[in-house]
Amino acid sequence: MPVTLHDLARKLGVSVATVSRALSGAPGVAEETRRRIVEAAEAMQYRPNVLAQRLQKQRTDTIGFIIPTFGPRFSDPFFSELLAGIGNEAAVHEYDLLVSTRPPGEEEMIAYERMVQERRVDGLLVVRTRRHDPRIEYLQSHHFPFVAFGRCEAEEPFPYVDVDGEAGMYRLTHHLIAKGHRRIAYITVSDALMFSHYRIQGYRRALEEAGLPFDAELIVEAGMSDEEGFRAGQALLRREPPPTAIIAATDLIALGVMGAAESCGVQVGSDLAVAGFDDISLASLAHPPLTTLRQPIYAIGQTICRMLLERILQGTIAEPYRLLQPELIVRASTDFVYPSE
């Protein structure tokens, strides 16, 4: 049986109120009394019952993070780093982090409703936003504190951190054009995902500005895995004539493309340029190393967590809209000049 405030109070011959005050550092306790209480608490190994504290305070001291869609073979190198950033930041502020998945076969919104309506958490982090995002609409309509990683096409503004995928892909495409490429293919993921929507726009803008035709044959949509990238890459390499460069919406997909090139006997880094987005750690170790756009995932995790705590604790966020610029990392997979036709 754990020691309670009551036990301590009885032992010391004071009231529970005094003990509570002394331990919480509230004013109005004689220094001498406080000392005695703190000492006894130490000696008796007193630990507050967080459940009781929470019920009384009507706060959970917990933030929530609902992991976006999940299959058995979900594997995202990206995700662990984001979680590390969030988790560490939460821990620093002594907040618990509740992680939830959508149980197999369950509606996604149910997880959100549980969190919000049953008040399991004080605030939520939303990631991988969609253009029209019911989660965000729901949270807004319930005035529930949240911060998103990613923007979305919502009526009301909301606090977010995002990486400027449009600008990033623009610069990357521009880089490829400067290297002499004219047939630049693009592997996109679902346009319903906000980041995907922005990224492909950057690609299109760069083509336009360079006066290059937009060729629907060179656009393929794939799922967000290396396996899917492999398939999409193969499909693109069968085009006639084939592209001389392939941009993938994510590094994971780009790694799949490199596998596909290998399987087709195409040499990445001389016959074909390949580039991705994210700069996962494997990008620099691929053969050849992969050109990509780096986003500071760990720092983003920290930032969205800190912003959410700001919102919860102070009711407002000093700098609620943050758009970060990704850094173009040119590596051997694109660092060669393609001979002009």
> What residue ranges bind a copy of itself (CB under 8 A)?
2, 45, 47-52, 54-55, 60, 62, 67, 70-81, 83-85, 87-88, 91-92, 96-104, 106, 111, 117-120, 225-227, 230, 255-256, 258-259, 262, 280-282, 285-287, 298-299
- Residue whose CB is less far from a copy of itself, 159 or 256: 256
Q: Which of residues 52-111 bind DNA (CB under 7 A)?
A: 52-53, 55-58
Closest CA to 224 of 247, 250, 245: 250
Chain centroid to CA 246: 25
DSSP states along 137-206:
HHHHHTT--EEEES----SS---EEEE-HHHHHHHHHHHHHHTT---EEEEE--TTBHHHHHHHHHHHHH
- Residue whose CB is less far from DNA, 94 or 156: 94
Give least dist CB 2 to a copy of itself, A.
7
Any idea how long the chain is?
A: 341
Residue 23 contact partner, candidates DNA, a copy of itself, none, CB within 5 to 8 A by sort of partner: DNA
Q: Does 17 bind DNA (CB under 7 A)?
A: yes
Q: Does 183 bind DNA (CB under 7 A)?
A: no
Neighbours of 38 (CB within 10 A): 15
Q: Is the link from the previous residue into 241 a cis peptide, with omega within 30 of 0?
A: yes
Do the Cβ atoms of 134 and 73 come closer than 8 Å? no
- Residue whose CB is less far from DNA, 5 or 273: 5
The DSSP secondary-structure symbol of 131 reads: S
Instruction: Using CB under 7 A, pick the residue from 18, 188, 196, 295 that binds DNA.
Output: 18
Binding mask 289-318 for DNA (x = CB under 7 A): ------------------------------
Residue 214 contact partner, candidates a copy of itself, DNA, none, CB within 5 to 8 A by sort of partner: none
Do the Cβ atoms of 247 and 176 come closer than 8 Å? yes
**What is each CA distance from 60 to 3, 95, 216, 308, 316, in whole angstroms?**
22, 9, 51, 14, 19
Q: Pick the piece of the chain touching DNA (CB under 7 A) from 22-30, 130-138, 247-255, 297-305.
A: 22-30
Give least dist CB 134 to DNA, A.
26
DSSP states along 42-98:
HHTT----HHHHHHHHT---EEEEE-----TT---TTHHHHHHHHHHHHHHTT-EEE
Do the Cβ atoms of 181 and 333 come closer than 8 Å? no
- Residue whose CB is less far from a copy of itself, 67 or 324: 67
Do the Cβ atoms of 217 and 245 come closer than 8 Å? no
For the chain, the distance separating the N- and C-terminal CA atoms, rounded to the nearest angstrom, is: 81
Give least dist CB 303 to a copy of itself, A.
13
Instruction: Using CB under 7 A, pick the residue from 48, 77, 242, 288 that binds DNA.
Output: 48
Chain centroid to CA 303: 10
Residue 77 contact partner, candidates DNA, a copy of itself, none, CB within 5 to 8 A by sort of partner: a copy of itself
- Residue whose CB is less far from DNA, 32 or 156: 32
Q: Does 28 bind DNA (CB under 7 A)?
A: yes
Residue 117 contact partner, candidates DNA, a copy of itself, none, CB within 5 to 8 A by sort of partner: a copy of itself
- Residue whose CB is less far from DNA, 121 or 290: 121
Q: Which residues would be at the binding site for DNA (CB under 7 A)?
A: 2, 4-6, 13-18, 20-21, 23-24, 26-34, 46, 48-49, 52-53, 55-58
